Amino acid sequence: MSFISRGFRGRPRRSDEGDRLPPGQYLVSGFPVLSAGPTPRTPLGEWTFSIAGEVDRPRRWTWDEFRSLPTETVTKDIHCVTKWSKFDTVWKGVSVDVLLDGVETAAGYAMAFSDGGYTTNLPLEDVTGGKAWVAFEYDSQPLEPEHGGPARLLVPHLYFWKSAKWVRGLRLMSEDAPGFWEMYGYHMYGDPWQEQRYSGD
Amino acid sequence: MAGTAVQRRLSWRLGEVVGLVEETPRVRTLVVTVPGWPGHRAGQHVDVRLTAEDGYQTQHSYSISSPPEDGQRVSLTVERLDDGEVSPYLVDEVRVGDRLELRGPIGGYFVWEAETTDPLQLVAGGSGVCPLMAMLRHRAAAPSRVPTRLLYSSRSLEDLIYRAELDGLAAADGGPEVTYTLTRERPPGWTGFARRIDRQMLAEAAWPPERRPLVFVCGPTSFVESAADHLVALGHEAARIKTERFGPTGG
């Protein structure tokens, strides 16, 4: 540590945060919002969720079909690249494993796509094996539009920009490609524990 | 929402604080010279990292309020959040001559280039004016005469950041049209808007959708949500509205 900020002491260190708070993050109790444009509002009657791209055959669910799929309730810590983390957030959603069940693909990557044009890229192995959900409830309430409702991707082990709000599907890809923020210099993978905020981190 | 790939490693740089401007009782601008600064575009931000003697580090993002034309002099305008960790240090503790670790520029979506020919509509809530000020300064320095309007919501006249400079820009030939709304306190004789930004105010003070302006909205989350919803309802294309939120995220 060569550089010290003169006169900076910082908050009292909290030992209970230690092993749950990734480097460079601080804990919040609220739920901040970050998005690049107006909040889209798609009527549920027009909402669908699609599995597209390099698959044996594309799949698509209407809202009612999607809501008839088996659900899980999970409690997760979430970490935003803008430095806030929030512990023990409770979500209800459909596991991506359920959505990909029976899909035949040689793809290694997925591009999540959303209303409003947002996209974000993820390795397929990071959204399968019980690691990702399409969530439609937060804290036992329908997910609010500003937090990504009616449904958002939830991939809590990566920085939260990977948990695409207003998600409408996954496009499977054989090669990785940058999504929206990734094109603007954010990290292709985004592991908070490795502090992979920006390209090259 | 296509963008240009910016895949370049962002390294920490040590800047020196060369100037401080007390903008309002809660807001201060730090002028930092950053050797090797790669340049930025109006609307981008930087990460500031503070390190305590015991090695503890914390980071926070701040919008750049200076224009690209300022070269290696980068201005950050910081509002003190009383429960924050970084902002009280930057607003109350930092002196000229101190050094500051930062890296950037970050973000490439919420940016405006002076070559753009579409009318420009800026909508600011509180310290959300900071990245928009970089755009107005860039516009003045370029110079650009693109028709430009700023609608700026503030609690009171004394809380308006850059007020003298904004009034000066507005008075200049070809300058932007600047409209303030004061939501909590008004000076005696105030004849301007005196409420939160609503649909009627946007219809009166912002470019109509027929002019197809590029719209930048920056402020606290509730402000941005509300303003962007009203703009869409008025007929502005969602894809032409870019937002940036200053959430209550500490700092």
Domain boundaries, given as residue ranges, for chain B: 13-106, 120-245
**C-alpha R_g of chain B:** 18
Distance from CA of B10 to the nearest CA of A (A): 7
The number of C-beta contacts closer than 8 angstroms across A and B is 140
The arrangement of secondary structure in B13-106, i.e. its CATH architecture, is Beta Barrel (2.40)
Interfacial A residues in 148-177 facing B (CB < 8 Å): none
- Which chain B residues are closer than 8 Å to A10 by Cβ? 50, 52, 56, 58, 85
Nearest to A184 among B3, B238, B250 (CB): B3
Contact list in A for residue B40 (CB cut-off 8 A) is none
CB–CB contact B106 A37 (8 Å): no
Contact between chains at B232 and A117 (C-beta distance less than 8 A): no
User: Do the Cβ atoms of A155 and A189 come closer than 8 Å?
Assistant: no
Least confident of A5-9, A28-32, B52-56, B93-97: A28-32
What CATH class has A22-29+45-194?
alpha beta
Sheet-wide strand order for B45-51 = B57-63, B45-51, B99-106, B13-24, B27-33, B73-79
Sheet with B120-125, edge to edge strand ranges: B177-182, B148-154, B120-125, B214-219, B241-245
Q: Does A34 touch chain B (CB under 8 A)?
A: yes
Considering only the beta carbons, identify the residue of B56, B242, B249 that sits closest to A36: B242
Query: Which of A36, A83, A181 lies closest to B59 in CB terms?
Result: A83
Tell me the pLDDT of chain B (251 aa) as tens digits.
444 445 567 899 999 999 999 999 999 999 999 999 999 999 999 999 999 999 988 888 999 999 999 999 999 999 998 888 899 999 999 999 999 999 999 989 999 999 999 999 999 999 999 999 999 999 999 999 999 999 999 999 999 999 999 999 999 999 999 999 999 999 999 999 999 999 999 999 999 999 999 999 999 989 999 999 999 999 999 999 999 987 543 33
Closest Cβ opposite residue B106 in set A36, A40, A185: A185
Structure confidence at residue A1 (pLDDT): 53
Q: Does A42 touch chain B (CB under 8 A)?
A: no
State whether residue B171 sits within 8 Å of chain A by CB.
no
- What ranges do the domains of chain A cover? 22-29+45-194
> Same CATH topology for B13-106 and B120-245?
no
Instruction: Quote the ipTM score.
Output: 0.88
Which of B17, B32, B58, B102 would you mutate first to test chain A, the one with the most A CBs within 10 A? B58
Looking at CATH, the fold of the domain delimited by B120-245 is given as Rossmann fold (3.40.50)
Residues B226, B247: Cα–Cα separation, whole Å: 14
Q: Write down the pTM of the prediction.
A: 0.92
A6 touches B: beta carbon within 8 Å: yes
Task: Decide if B225 and A32 are in contact by the 8 Å CB cutoff.
Answer: no
